[in-house]
Chain A
Amino acid sequence: MHKLIRKEYINENLFKIFFDKKDLKFFPGQHFSLSIPNKSINREYSSYTSSNDKELGFLIRRVEGGIMSNLLDKMEVGDELNIYGPYGSFVLKDEYIENKQIIFIASGTGIAPFVSMKETYNLDNYKLFVGIRETRDLADAEKFDESKSYYCISREDNISKNNHYKGRINNQLEKIEYIKDYENSIYMICGNSYMISDVYDILVKEKKINPNNIITESFF
């Protein structure tokens, strides 16, 4: 069992939750299955903290009517849950870290594994595209270089910051040719499956990206 150490709220529906890590080891981008004792429920959550951190953190959206995310929201410091894993191959290969530009594309909490990757490997050769509904859903912008990140905000009209854009990720990706070496980059896409499906079509069908250079992780 792993003890809840602390929680941080970005807004009432988006929060970070940190557990004692014990001897769990993982590659950034892998996910865990969290299971609440006696509630008969488990769900998957991507690693969010660096694999070098002492704590194991997750970035959670509380889903209206969702079962697990609401139980996690109600958990208090000192409460315990079971953590199984790590699982999955949504990870960066060494050759990518050393030789390739990584283009991260996330919707909502899909940014979680990218934070973990950035923090663990101290990445420099990357670009980040994030799709959110409102500015208040922005998580961890300070962890990424402003000149390398693009935030696409779908439900706000007044956009004030340089790297904030109105609309969906798709609109920004239409201009991906401006990114140097975009043809040879590795694309990691994470979050909502509809977004992944749309983005894939833009990258492969319009921008002629080799599908073997696209790695995806679907959350829902």
Chain B
Amino acid sequence: MKISISYPPIINHLGQKAMVSQNRNVQYFKKPTYLLPVVQAQAATKLKKNGFDVIWDDGNAELKTFDKWYLDLIKIKPDLIFMEGTTPVMHFLWDLSKKIKKELPNTILVIGGYHAMRQPQETLLKSDFDIVLKSTNLDFVLLELCNELKINNLSLNKIETKGITYRKQDTLDEIIDNGAFKMVENLDSSEIVDRNLVKWKNYAYENGNFLQTPGTYSSSVIRDCMFGKCTFCRYNGPELSFSKMSITKSVDEYEDLIINHGVKEIFDDSGVWFRGKDAIDFAKEIIRRGLHRKGCYFGFNTRFEYLDEETIKWLAKANFRFILIGLESGSNYTLNKLNKGYSMREIRMNLELMTKYGLHPHLTIMVGYYWETKEMLDETVNVVKDFMFKGLARTLQVTICTPVDYTPYHIECVEKKKLIVDNYNDFDMSKVIVKTPIDHSYYYKAIKEMYSIAFHPKFIIRQIIFLFNFKKRDWQFLFTYSIRAIRRVNQHIFNLTNKAS
């Protein structure tokens, strides 16, 4: 049975490409970063290990045009195609499913992702997809599904696999919901990504967060998020929990990546990575195997206050560098409304600890909440400036808070009639799409202002001061990374304000 895990190149009217495989709504960029979709890669690996003929078909990362990608796919004639989408590309994918079905009527089309999984009926009614996969444990579900389809000669008349909604083949209008899939999996039975299968080098160089290349994403140690309660976040939902991988299994992968693939930076894209004892044990294992001396940096996503001083100390010793962390606002009111579970006081203290031990915090900031006043926005801009000028954070990324499908924030926006668009395509994070107490232009201005910090003399002087720590990473940061950062900042500003820079 031939299975293709496919990412079609999706290009908007500005000639920008959609980045589908990131942790929120799709964003369009002229020169996007190609992120390895880790769970999908684990799914491909699992299927291959179980004897299926798997095609890893990321048209974006392979720099294909849509037409080239499409013709290649049709030529391959897979028995099953899996695709992933979020709100802004749903219309595109629905249309695409009809186009593919015309050419390949016997191919089973499966879709996953946060939009379809929460509204499977809608997708099945509006498209030619046959199956909606409703679980974030899609590697486990896909394997069960493909095993079942294989036994039943690809029949869609009766499927037992949990975690899917499907259209019955014999009575085309009948939609069957098989109920929820297991929320908690033992990740020790998930697969470590087969790097050759997913052509890992396609993702190894263009990622702006890597200070050294080739860099790569590891197989996540935590699937979904241990906290999972921030109201805007894709990891918040009654159907989501979290699962954990053992330290040994993960460090085995790091060892393989460093020794056999020459990787120079590894990022774990778990919603939040290990904390406390697990993080310390991980760092100790890296050190025990001597992997901290191989010139490879490590990084991950975390939440404020998941890393205490002792943990940070060990991480620094083990050559961890890049810490991606959400600073969703500088206003305590907003932090509280978003269920962040901490305030500015704790955020500052935690950043002080991280930077004391030489870690490089990267802040992900958001603006444009439906309640965000000028004062709140100013608080954010001021606090971000302060952190960056004082060296409490190294890099940042600012996005417009765009409600992610059926998260509590999205539901709140709908219930309070705050959404000002109803076309799914408008959820592409390029503009504010909620009613706000101030003109939207203030948010765009704030975004520009925060991105411009990278060029501010105070920020540059701070980076020069860092050089006197005589750490390689600080020198690399100033000379290599800042050049890349400029390109990245320009793209973001162009993208978010839609004005050429």
Contacts and interface: CB of A to CB of B under 8 A. Distances in A.
B179 A211 contact: yes
Interface residues of B, number: 38
Nearest to B163: A211
Contact of B182 (A87, A201, A210): A201
Contact of A42 (B238, B281, B306, B310): B306
Interface string A196-212: 11001100100000111
A67 B353 contact: no
Contact of A193 (B238, B244, B342, B353): B244
A178 interface: no
A216 B305 contact: no
Given A193-B243, A217-B241, A218-B242, A212 B179 contact: yes
Contacts, number: 94
B305 A211 contact: no
B179 A66 contact: no
Most chain-B CB neighbours within 10 Å: which of A40, A67, A197?
A: A40
A41 B305 contact: yes
Nearest to A42: B305
Interface in A168-184: none
B186 A197 contact: yes
Contacts of B163: 211
Interface in A61-85: 63, 65-68, 82, 84-85
Given A35-B346, A216-B183, A87 B339 contact: yes
Contact of A67 (B162, B186, B310, B341): B310
Contacts of A211: 162-163, 179-182
A218 B308 contact: no
Contacts of A125: none
A201 B140 CA distance: 13
A76 to B, nearest CB: 20
A108 B349 CA distance: 33
Nearest to A219: B226
A117 B43 CA distance: 38
A84 B347 CA distance: 14
Interface in B42-101: none
Contact of B180 (A85, A212, A217): A212
A38 interface: yes
A197 B179 contact: no
A41 B312 CA distance: 11
16 contacts: A33-B342, A35-B341, A42-B306, A44-B226, A65-B280, A66-B276, A67-B276, A67-B311, A68-B276, A85-B341, A87-B341, A88-B229, A197-B185, A200-B182, A211-B180, A220-B244
What 5 pairs across the A-B complex have the smallest Cβ distances?
Answer: A33-B341, A42-B305, A87-B229, A84-B341, A41-B308
Interface of A: 33, 35, 38-44, 63, 65-68, 82, 84-85, 87-89, 193-194, 196-197, 200-201, 204, 210-212, 214, 216-218, 220
Interface of B: 162-163, 179-186, 226-227, 229, 238, 241-244, 276-277, 280-281, 304-311, 339, 341-343, 346, 349-350, 353
